[in-house]
Amino acid sequence: MTANSNRKISFDDLVACASCDWLHYREIINRGARASCERCGHELYTRKPFSVDRTLAASLAGIVFLVLSLSLPFLALTRGGISSSISVLDAVSALWNGDMRWLGVLSLALIAVLPSLRLGLLAWVMMRLRYRMGVKPSMHVALRWAEWIEPWAMAEIFMVGVVVSLVKISALASLSVGPAFWALLGLIITTSLISVFYCKDSVWQLLTRHSA
């Protein structure tokens, strides 16, 4: 329903189209449904089923995959009978010790620190909502930070770079991927699932409702 000036409501009951700025009344929709703009048809908001439960499960799985990807061997290289293995943290350390400290710090932040921070914040907020542990003002801040960090958590970009490097190095030596490689792949899959499961509008409605 399009908003008009004859009805007094709060701003929380209004939603603007991100495409054409047309203002609508926020209405309750069925689980699994989506609300669209009356003018341009752009999606306004959705109500994904079991969003909190699924986002919580994917976030916890992502934390496990992230810990494994950082602690286990990532890549093994064999040439001339000599073998060596390296982990993600070893690669960061090599950059730091090779006078490329800013690149090392940036790599650590984008591959490890920001993804772990985002997953931790999401898991904390979803866990408190799932088990009805009460809503704190800090949960709003945590969720905003988690949403802001999302574009900067670039584990998938790191994986693309690794695949390109593997193709180039494979002609020079024998390569084998370690368990951390598959853990990082699992992390990428779980973060993609979070994007599918996470219903921003539903979660914020829960936070607003329980904190009121």
pLDDT for 28 beyond 80: no
Complete DSSP assignment for the chain: -B--TTS---GGGEEE-TTT--EEE-----TT-EEE-TTT--EEEE--TTHHHHHHHHHHHHHHHHHHHHHS--EEEEETTEEEEE-HHHHHHHHHHTT-HHHHHHHHIIIIIHHHHHHHHHHHHHHHHHTT----HHHHHHHHHHHHHGGG--HHHHHHHHHHHHHHHTTTSEEEE-HHHHHHHHHHHHHHHHHHH--HHHHHHHHHHHH-
pLDDT-derived band at 21 (thresholds 50, 70, 90) equals confident
Domain boundaries, the chain: 11-46, 51-211
Q: What percent of the chain has pLDDT over 70?
A: 82
| Residue that wins the pLDDT comparison between 159 and 21 | 21
Q: Give the model's pLDDT for residue 152.
A: 79
pLDDT tens per residue, range 32-87 = 777 888 888 887 777 788 889 999 999 999 999 999 988 888 877 776 666 677 78
pLDDT for 20 beyond 50: yes
pLDDT for 2 beyond 50: no
Q: Give the model's pLDDT for residue 44.
A: 78
pLDDT-derived band at 12 (thresholds 50, 70, 90) equals low
Q: Which fold has domain 51-211?
A: Butyryl-CoA Dehydrogenase, subunit A; domain 3 (1.20.140)
* pTM of the full structure: 0.77
